[in-house]
A = this chain, B = another copy of it.
Amino acid sequence: MIWPFVRGLLSFYVTMSCASNRRVTSWYDSCSDIQGVLLDISGVLYDSGAGGGVAIPGSVEAVKKLKQSGLSVRFCTNETQCTRDHLVTKLSGLGFQVKRDEVFAPAPAACIVLKDRNLRPHLLIHPGCRPEFEGVDCTNPNCVLIGDATDEFSYKNLNEAFRVLVGLQDPILISMGKGRYYKETDGLTLDVGVFMKALEYACDVEAEVVGKPAKAFFLAALQDMGVQPQHALMVGDDVVNDIGGAQSVGMRGLQVRTGKYRLEDEHHPTVHPDGFVDNLKQAVDLLLQHRGQ
């Protein structure tokens, strides 16, 4: 059979031409056993920003092809500026085929933690995310829960959260993610992890992270797909939270050179992605080619 050989050669040249002067990736040589794929959303599918953001070129088609391939697909996001419903509506508006139940986000995961442990949170979150916490008892708070609150991260609101924490015998700080920054259409933007660190320092506590890179978060998505970690691939733009998190449960992690990607990520001191691709389109093309699809 000459065809697989030609196809392999072709994808090699595609990678070389797209990634000129970068190291040649070979993650796809061993991807034939992949059964499920987790996709980060912001920075992989689209860049968020004013007016709803913009799709990253090729991503709409890539998601479509991936779903048609028969592989299991879930979307694993640390998005906490809005509800999953809102996110799905926004993505649909950009042309993506994404269903609510395919999206794993920190707010629903946080609600389970709060209920399990009888916690009443002081919420420092984005107004768009509040509906996810409807029905949660927030009276007489015994913990602080923060998300990507953006403009709500005012000095006044941070002080309020601080005073709740410092007044507790055993302060509990729960953070929906620990990212440093993400890419908006107008540039890099501070993420929730920065304010988590601020409150950690203020109160001398260590936050509990719900969302990526927490192992439980990846495992819940894998369980939903019915796929073992060693047969699953995470595609993300965050070297620590997407790639490092996925690898910590035994998945493979592929970093895209879109979104918040920076050249330094390719020489990260602790996290070594299984591969780099220029964008989601290239990831899906190579994955499907090497699976013979």
Residues on A facing B (Cβ under 8 Å) = 149-156, 158-159, 162-163, 166, 180-181, 187-190, 193-195, 197-204
List chain B residues, Cβ under 8 A from A194.
158, 162, 198-199, 201-202
List chain B residues, Cβ under 8 A from A201.
180, 193-194, 197
Would you call B150 and A189 a contact (CB within 8 A)?
no
Would you call B197 and A159 a contact (CB within 8 A)?
no
Contacts A/B (CB < 8 Å), 23 sampled:
A149-B155, A151-B154, A151-B155, A151-B156, A152-B155, A154-B154, A155-B190, A159-B189, A162-B190, A163-B187, A163-B188, A166-B181, A180-B201, A180-B202, A180-B204, A181-B202, A190-B202, A193-B201, A194-B198, A194-B199, A194-B202, A197-B197, A198-B198
List chain B residues, Cβ under 8 A from A189.
159
Q: How many copies does the complex hold?
A: 2
Interface of A is mostly: helix
Q: How far is the CB of A177 from chain B (nearest CB, A)?
A: 13
Q: How far is the CB of A240 from chain B (nearest CB, A)?
A: 11
List chain B residues, Cβ under 8 A from A180.
201-204
Q: How far is the CA of A151 from the CA of B158 in the complex (A)?
A: 10
List chain B residues, Cβ under 8 A from A162.
181, 188, 190, 194
List chain B residues, Cβ under 8 A from A163.
187-188
Name A264's closest neighbour in chain B (CB-CB). Answer: B204
List chain B residues, Cβ under 8 A from A187.
163
Q: How far is the CB of A138 from chain B (nearest CB, A)?
A: 20
Q: How far is the CA of A173 from the CA of B4 in the complex (A)?
A: 54
List chain B residues, Cβ under 8 A from A156.
151
Q: How far is the CB of A157 from chain B (nearest CB, A)?
A: 10
Q: How far is the CA of A156 from the CA of B186 in the complex (A)?
A: 13
Q: How far is the CA of A199 from the CA of B193 in the complex (A)?
A: 11
Q: How far is the CB of A33 from chain B (nearest CB, A)?
A: 35
User: A188 touches which one: B153, B166, B188 (CB < 8 A)?
Assistant: B166
Q: How far is the CA of A290 from the CA of B213 in the complex (A)?
A: 58
Q: How far is the CB of A263 from chain B (nearest CB, A)?
A: 12
